[in-house]
Amino acid sequence: MRKLILGTSGLLILLGSNAVLDAADGPAHVAGRLLAAHREGIDPNLLERMWMAHGAVVRRRLPRFRVDVLEVPEERSEAILESLMRSGLFEYVEHDFYARTAAVPNDPSYIAQWHLPRIQSAEAWSVTTGSASVVVAVIDSGVDGKHPDLAAKLVPGWNFVGGNADTTDVLGHGTAVAGTLGAASNNGIGVAGVSWASLIMPLVVVDPNDYAAYSDIAAAIEYAVDHGVRVINISIGGPNSSSTLQSAVDYSWNKGAVIFSSAMNDTTAAPYYPAACNHAVAVSATDSNDQLASFSNYGAWIALAAPGTNILTTMNGGGYGYWYGTSFAAPIAAGVAALCLAVNPGLSNAALVSLLEQSADDLGPAGWDASFGWGRINAYRAVVAAKPATTPAVERSPGRRRSR
C-alpha cells in the first residue's frame, strides 16, 4: 500500500508501506525478510527444498552475491535464520536491515543552528537520537520548567542554593545550557538539541547574582552521581583550585561518571575550575570558522573544543536567543557523550572520553594542542566509534594534559 502525505515543508512525499517517517523511531529491519547467501556450488534444487521446508518464498535473487531475498513469517524469522545457518549451506543469513537518510529535525529554527551541522549532528542522528535512559545533570542556575522545548525533558533535581526542590531558573543561563544540550527536537517548534531523547536533571548552584559556591557545586556533583547520572555538565568556573571540588570530581570519576566543564571566557591559559580538575573534561570554544573563539580560555588543561559562538538556544520565559561562551561548548560535548552512551551504555567513562578525543576533528597543530585539546567534537564519528561492534577505544596517553 502507498499513501501520500503532505510534509511540513509543503513537499508532497510518496511513502511505501515500510517507509520510516522518523529517524528516532521505526523498525530496524524489514519485517519478515531475510537475506541468505548460499555457498558456492550448492545444488539449486536443494535450496528450493530448503525454502519449502521453512515456508520461505524467494522475493528476488541477487546472483552476483549468491543471495536469495526471502519472505518469511516475521514471528519465525529468528528461528528460520538460525536453522538455515545450522544447515551449513550458507555463508551468512541476516535480516534485511533499513538504512536511513541523515535525520534533520523539523524545528523551524534548526536552519539557524550552524553548530549542529558543523559537528555532523544530522549524520549522528541517523545512528541515534539519544535515549531517555541517559540522564544528563546540568549544574547551573536552574531550568525553565515551562519552556515548550524543555518541559518534557526534565527529571526532578535539587536547589542547593535554596535547599529545596525548586529548580526554577533564577538567571536564564541554565535554561540556555539545557536547550543547547537537549532541547526537545523534531517537534515542530523552536530549536534542536544535540541529544534529542536525553533527559535533563537541573541542579541549582548559581544564585540570582551569578555566584556559585564551590561547596554547592561539589554537593551537586555528589547528588547527580548518587542518582545514577553518568554525564554531568558544569558551565561554571572559578580561578581558584579546591581540594573539595577535586574530591567531588574524583568521586564522580570513580563512580563511572564524566564531567564536562567550560574552560571559561577570559582569554587566558590560567586554569579555571572545575574544568582544570583532574578527571574533568575541559572544553574550549570554537567559532564558525573553526578557530578558537576570541574569548575562550586555553592551556595545558584543555581536553576538547566545541562550537561556542552565536549559539541559538532556549531562553527563560519560553523564547529563543543567541548566546556566546564556553558555557555552550561544554553542553555540546556533553550532548555528544549522551548520544554515545545511548548507542553503547556499557562504555566505561575512560573509554567514553577516549573515543570522544580520538573521533574529534583535529584543529590547529597536529595532535593535542593548548587551544583545541584533541580537537573539535564530531558527533557522527563519536557515535560510530561508540557502537559495540567497533573495537573498544584505547585511552590516549595524557601527553601534555593532566593524567586521568
- Cell digits of residue 187: 517537534
- Give the C-alpha separation, 179 to 149, whole Å: 7
Residue 15 and residue 37: Cα distance in Å, rounded? 29
Is residue 224 packed enough to be buried (19+ CB in 10 Å), middle (13-18) or exposed (0-12)? buried
Estimate to the nearest angstrom the gap between the alpha carbon of 391 and the chain centroid: 19
CA distance 310 to 305: 15
Give the helix ranges, DSSP H, for 76-118: 77-86, 115-118
- Given a contact cutoff of 8 angstroms between Cβ atoms, the answer to whether 156 and 168 are in contact is no
The residues carrying an active-site annotation are: 140, 173, 327
Mutual orientation of helices 349-359 and 326-343 as an angle, nearest 10°?
A: 110
Q: Dihedral (C-alpha) 146, 150, 152, 155: value to the nearest 10 degrees?
A: -90
Buried b / exposed e along 11-45 (16+ C-beta atoms within 10 A): eeeeeeeeebeebbeeeebbebbbbbebeeeeeee
Nearest to 96, CA basis, from 163, 169, 18: 18
- Distance, CA of 60 to CA of 247 (rounded, Å): 62
Q: Which residues contact 366 (CB under 8 A, 6 or more apart)?
A: none
Q: In this structure, are residues 200 and 150 in contact, taking their beta carbons and an 8 Å threshold?
A: yes
